[in-house]
Amino acid sequence: MSNTPAAPKAGQPNSLHMIATLGGVSFLSGFLIFFAVQATEAGIKQNKLEQLRGAVFEVLPGAASSQAFAVEDKGFRPVEVDDSTPGMKKVYAGYDESGKLVGVAIEAAAQGYSDVIRGIYGYDPAAKRVTGFMVLQSSETPGLGDRIGNDPEFLANFFSSDTSKDTISLELNADGGSLAHNVEFAKNGEKSDPWQVEGISGATISSKAVVRMLNNSAQEAVPLIQAHLDQLQKGTS
Amino acid sequence: MAQGNPATTMDEFMKGLWRENPVFVMLIGMCPTMAVSNTVINSLAMGACAIFVLVMSSAVVSLIRKLVPKEVRIATFIVVIATLVTIVDYVMQYISLPLYQALGVFIPLIVVNCIILARAEVFASRNNVWLSSVDALGMGVGFTFALLCLGTVREIIGKGAILGIPLFGPNFEPWSVMVLPPGGFFTLGSWLLFFNWLRERRARKLKKAE
């Protein structure tokens, strides 16, 4: 670097000094990050919970209160919303003002175009239909894939209030063990059956991910919900 | 350490904003510039994060510049910058989860934003804390200004809205390519053309005046 010939001793780098500097800086850095995590952890958890709570009411129109249930082999067990036992699957039952069950919100996930898309959808056990869908987390391409979360035409597949079209049907087959029809993907404008989701042209991969997410989750959750509907009614805990 | 006379201080600040604007003149920090400047709110949030990290890291680097052996200076600067970015990452999740999800991977990538390391190496490691902070603030504001220039154009054309508020009514068909990466290049190119034209015009005028 320097053009003048350095003095032999003074110019030699001192390894100890270097190690001490880097070590010291890293130590301080670790310390600071520890404090940042400590200070924000509770708030971040709260934010995520609030997002989820908002989403439950979003996908269950008409719900005034909700209750989380853990999914177990024998059915459903009421749990706290913020219960985060590892491996536990949760659904959220929504009730109207009078305490009547209006629907169940179910979290689901599927591989999208760039990463896993996490979403939540509402299911009305009486009408056997989807009552809403919302993206919780996605890193789909802005302007294309991320339209699964905000394209009004696509969301009309799931929300019935703002369109004359019916929402996706989730009927069970005769023995109640699985869906009568798989949730299927249909190209924009080519939907012919009530169990088809009309995709977004230009966001086919992301639309199909939503279809897969719905189908996989509903195949499992819907038979369970129909079989143990009594456990989800208010005040059965 | 003198606080520097006001003229120099102002000059250091304005340098980053205009004469040596990191994006429009030095053309550094292009990755985050292209990636997050698709809407105004993303531009603002990225700008705010970058300003914070820039000013703090420049101040810290300037403060420790005499203690750090020059052989490990870059490594030390990176640790300082990475620490600040990690803190920003957590604070951002704390403040607004939706905004954090929108900026996604670009927050951690502030670590490798050239502008920040460049200011640490070129300026903060050679100047006092006050001047380094002013320089960093100028560069940060300049970066934010550039992001906003791009973000405004891209959001208006690509989404027909500004700050999420629709501008043109339901019949406007948004030109989606503008919010995608190609739109970033188009917009940046147009702005560069405009700013260079301005600069040349001014230079011609100066020449005439002489």
Query: At A105, which helix (H) or strand (E)?
Result: strand A101-111
Q: Chain B residue closest to A37 (CA)? A: B90
Query: Do residues B126 and B142 lie in contact, with contact meaning Cβ atoms separated by under 8 Å?
Result: no
- Which among A159, A170, A167, A94 has a CA at the least distance from the CA of A132? A159
**pLDDT tens digit sequence for A182-230:** 888 988 888 888 888 888 888 889 999 999 999 999 988 888 888 888 8
The predicted model scores a pTM of 0.75
Q: Does B180 touch chain A (CB under 8 A)?
A: yes
**pLDDT tens digit sequence for A41-92:** 999 989 988 888 889 998 998 888 888 888 887 778 888 877 777 777 888 9
Report the relative pairing of strands A196-198 and A184-186 from DSSP bridges. parallel
- Which of A12, A26, A37, A44 to mutate to probe the B interface, most B CBs <10 Å? A44
Complex confidence, ipTM: 0.76
Residues from chain A that touch B72, judged by Cβ atoms under 8 A, are: 18, 21-22
The whole-angstrom separation of Cα A118 and Cα A166 is 24
Residues from chain B that touch A13, judged by Cβ atoms under 8 A, are: 69, 71
Q: Does A6 touch chain B (CB under 8 A)?
A: no
Q: Does B72 touch chain A (CB under 8 A)?
A: yes
- Which of B77, B176, B178, B186 to mutate to probe the A interface, most A CBs <10 Å? B176
Per-residue model confidence as pLDDT tens for chain B (210 residues): 445 577 788 888 888 888 888 888 888 888 888 888 888 888 888 899 999 999 999 999 999 988 888 888 899 999 999 999 999 989 988 988 888 877 766 788 788 788 898 899 999 999 999 999 999 999 999 999 999 999 999 999 988 888 878 888 777 888 878 888 889 999 999 999 999 998 899 899 999 887
The pLDDT value recorded for residue A237 is 44
Contact A36 B86 (CB under 8 A): yes
- Which among B123, B13, B110 has a CA at the least distance from the CA of B58? B123
Q: Does B71 touch chain A (CB under 8 A)?
A: yes
Query: Do residues B67 and B61 lie in contact, with contact meaning Cβ atoms separated by under 8 Å?
Result: no
- Which of B71, B92, B103, B175 to mutate to probe the A interface, most A CBs <10 Å? B71
Residue from the list B38, B76, B101 with its beta carbon closest to the beta carbon of A22:
B76
